[in-house]
Amino acid sequence: MEKASDSEPIALISEGTRVVEDDRRINYSEEEVKKHAYDLVSGTNRIVFATHYSRDIDRLRTFYQVAKKSCRKLVISPKTAYLLHGLLNDERLNLPDPIKDEDILVYYRKKRSGTFDEADYHAWEREFMDKMVNYEFVAKNQRRLIMTLDFQNLTELVDIRPSPGSHFVYSMSEPFSEEDLEFEVMHNWLNHFKIEFHQLHSSGHLNREQISSFINDINPKKVFPIHTENQLLFKKFSKKVQMIQYGKTYKL
């Protein structure tokens, strides 16, 4: 913000994903996500499932640290293990090694033969089979685990049979539409197994108040709101807003 303000900008092009009339979502930091997740995990003797964006390495690290601190194992998918292993050489990320780290287990679904035979899996998946667990292991060790579980793998709940009162941490943005069928289907699964739902997310987008402060501090001559359905709301906190139309050219 300081650098942008010092440049005395002619224009600011600003996203407005969370510029809405009534944004009730809590704006957690990553540290706050970690704290609330730990409070939840340390306060239950049930399994905790978690879902987050597949490439969100910060969130994955957060759940790993929560699992380690609460003396649980983090159960991840082979895809996540493959991603982690590919990023180990980047020292700035400070990621655990899915092959060597004792606090990480890799969950394998039944495929083809249904016997968890090595031949059932792709070559890249076999690399992590020394850390393999399946639904039987998870079912027997529920109180000792945090398991990442995405929408495509909700069917694994049928075999895992989590104890009623287990927990599911939805660590992604809430749906922007009440007609989000995937969100509804997910809740149907959770309700069927009597799993408690929790929303814990650190958004990458500024909320309305933060956008307002951002614009006023930078003080551009014009503001172009993009990636928003509420251009008019920008006018409530800046008189320099240029309403834009798709396909139209604007000169500075």
179 within domain boundaries: yes
CATH number reported for the structural domain that contains residue 84 in this entry? 3.40.50.10710
- pLDDT at 176 exceeding the cut of 60: no
Question: Which sign, positive or negative, has the C-alpha torsion 108, 110, 116, 118?
Answer: negative
Domain that holds residue 86: 30-199
User: What's the rounded mean pLDDT across residues 2-12?
Assistant: 94
For CA atoms 46, 102, 105, 174, the dihedral sign is positive
Q: Within this chain, do residues 143 and 81 fall inside the same structural domain, yes or no?
A: yes
What pLDDT is attached to residue 158? 97
Give Cα separations from 170 to 48, 103, 132, 183, 187 (angstroms): 11, 22, 24, 10, 11
pLDDT band at 207 (very low <50, low <70, confident <90, very high): confident
**Within a domain: residue 204?**
no
pLDDT of 203 > 80? The answer is no
Do 132 and 221 fall within a single domain? no
Quick one: average pLDDT of 227-240?
A: 90
The residue type at 149: L
242 close to 249: Cβ distance less than 8 angstroms: no
pLDDT category at 175 given cuts 50, 70, 90 is low
Beta bridge mates, 106: 76, 132
Give the pairing of strands 104-107 and 222-226.
Answer: unpaired
pLDDT value, residue 230: 87
Spatial contact of 93 and 83, defined as CB atoms under 8 Å apart: no
For 196, phi then psi, to 5°, come to -80, 135
Nearest to 14 by CA among 236, 208, 175: 208
pTM: 0.80
Q: Which of 68, 66, 75, 69 is nearest to 31 (CA)?
A: 66
> Is there a single domain that holds both residue 107 and residue 191?
yes
**What is the pLDDT at residue 180?**
67
Provide the domain count of the chain.
Answer: 2
Question: Is residue 35 domain-shared with residue 7, that is, in the same domain?
Answer: no
For 24-77, how does the pLDDT look when each residue is reduced to its tens digit (9 = 90+)? 666 788 899 999 999 999 999 999 999 998 889 999 999 999 999 999 999 999
List, for residues 100-152, the tens digit of each pLDDT value. 999 999 999 999 999 999 999 999 999 999 999 999 999 999 999 999 999 99
Q: What pLDDT is attached to residue 252?
A: 87
Per-residue burial over 82-93, b if 16 or more Cβ lie within 10 Å, else e, is: bbbbeeeeeeee
Which residue do the tokens 């009534």 mark? 22
Mean pLDDT of the chain: 92
- Residue 168 and residue 235 in one domain: no
